[in-house]
Each structure stands twice: as C-alpha cells, then as structure tokens.
Amino acid sequence: MNLLLIFLIPWRDLNMLLMKIITKYVYELLEKDCNLKKISIPEGYGVIVLNPNENYIEVEKPKIHVQSSSDSSDEPAEKRERKDKVSKETKKRRDFYEKYRNPQREKEMMQLYIRENGSPEEHAIYVWDHFIAQAAAENVFFVAHSYGGLAFVELMIQREADVKNKVTAVALTDSVHNVWHQEAGKTIREWMRENCCNWVSSSEPLDTSVESMLPDCPRVSAGTDRHELTSWKSFPSIFKFFTEASEAKISSLKPAVTRRSHRIKHEEL
C-alpha cells in the first residue's frame, strides 16, 4: 500500500518551531561536546537568558473566570476525575499549539522583566559580577557583536579596573558603541586602542584597515558587507588576534594588538 502524506504548515509557524528545535540541539551540543555548563540566571528565576535584548519572562495575563452554573457535586467521583483528566490534556495540547504555532499568543502575554537583567547593559554587568569576575581563568577574551559592543563599553565604564586586570583582548564585530555618547574616559579609550579591534562590515578583504572617526580601537574589514555575518567571517582573524595577545601577555612584551593599531591614526577630537 502506497501512502502519501502532505503537511501544510505556514512558513512562519514552521520557522518558529525549527528555531526552538535547533536552539535545544545546539545547547545539548555545547553541554556534551564542549563540556559547557548551563546555568539559570538570576538566582531563583529558573530561566536561561538566551538573548539579553529580550530579558523578560512571558506569563499569561490574568483572565476572568466565569463560574459554571452547573453543579457537579452530584457527579460520581470517578466521572469528575475523568473529566478533569480530559480537561488537563486538552489544555496541554492547546498550550503547546499556542506556544509553537500561534503567532497571536503574544497578545495574551505580558512581559515580566528579570531583575538585574532588564537591559543588555545590566545583563553584561550581572554576568561579569556573578560569573566572569569569580572565574579562575587568567585569560578572558570577549567577542562582542553589534549592540554587545556598546554593552561591553558600559561594562568597562562601570568595572574599569576589574576588566583591565582580567581581560586579555576584545574582538568587536560591527559594534555600535560610541565612546563619546557613552562618555568613556581617556584611560578607557587608551586601553581599547591597545587591546581591542573592531571587525566592521565592509566590501574590502578581511583585515583591511578601515578609517575610524572615533579615538578608540582600530577598525578592520570583516570581509563581508552583511552585518549579521561579520562575526562568522572574521573568526579566523579573531582567533589569531587572541593568540597573539595571549602570547604577548605571557612573554611580558607589549601586546601584539598595538601593531594593528599603528595602521590607523587616531585623533583626539
């Protein structure tokens, strides 16, 4: 017997479901193959913050329940138990459908912001204070993409001495930080010139110097003009950059990153 099954699934719904499945699979690989540990933050919430730009818990909005006019007190206990079981199964299926397939679910939800992680900047400081600062690692490296670069600069402003003492090098990828608007001090800008590099979206070949109007870190091409690909495309250069910085630190020489900074002239505006 030949059987043909046809599934008609809206692309948006399929995309949402695939994202959930892929995310779960990637986290399993990170734990099993990379020996990483998944930690819930902040303490007591029992949630994993996947995206610091969406640091909130979704909870159902309270609904007004109408009391049923029918009196089930006379029903046999077995029948009531069976009805309750069916009701729970129905709700479970409905919740699953709404969570993964119903784009209207967001209209039925409200956002409860997670304490101390209500913004990317707060999240970066929280992770630093509770994890990075307490880590035994002697060499800490950052890869900060897009708004993550702004969050890192804010972290430096708030924890300057600690960051300088623990961080070996920072790779920014198409960062949107601005040392003037964020009011980063002179000592921070000097440290960034020596220990940071920003791989920006550009049609030029990878590592080609790109002119900068800001007196902070050197800017080089990420080898792509697509913002979302800048991290991926510049990885080979980023890891080489980290290796050079680590070796320079070990040998107590001037960080190799300064050689990169000589390509670009910075002016104190």
Q: Could you list the active site residues?
A: 146
**Contact between 233 and 223 (Cβ < 8 Å):** yes
Q: Evaluate the CA torsion angle 50, 55, 145, 233 in order and state its sign.
A: positive
C-alpha radius of gyration, the chain, whole number: 25
Candidates 184, 209, 188; CA nearest to 197 is 209
CA dihedral 48, 51, 54, 56 (to 10 degrees): 10
Beta-carbon contacts of residue 261 (< 8 Å; ≥ 6 apart): 193, 194, 217, 218
- Rounded CA-CA distance 149/211 in Å is 18
- Rounded CA-CA distance 107/58 in Å is 11
DSSP symbol at 183: T
Candidates 198, 152, 190, 146; CA nearest to 171 is 198
**Contact between 175 and 212 (Cβ < 8 Å):** no
Residue 220: Cβ-neighbour burial (10 angstroms; 0-12, 13-18, 19+): buried
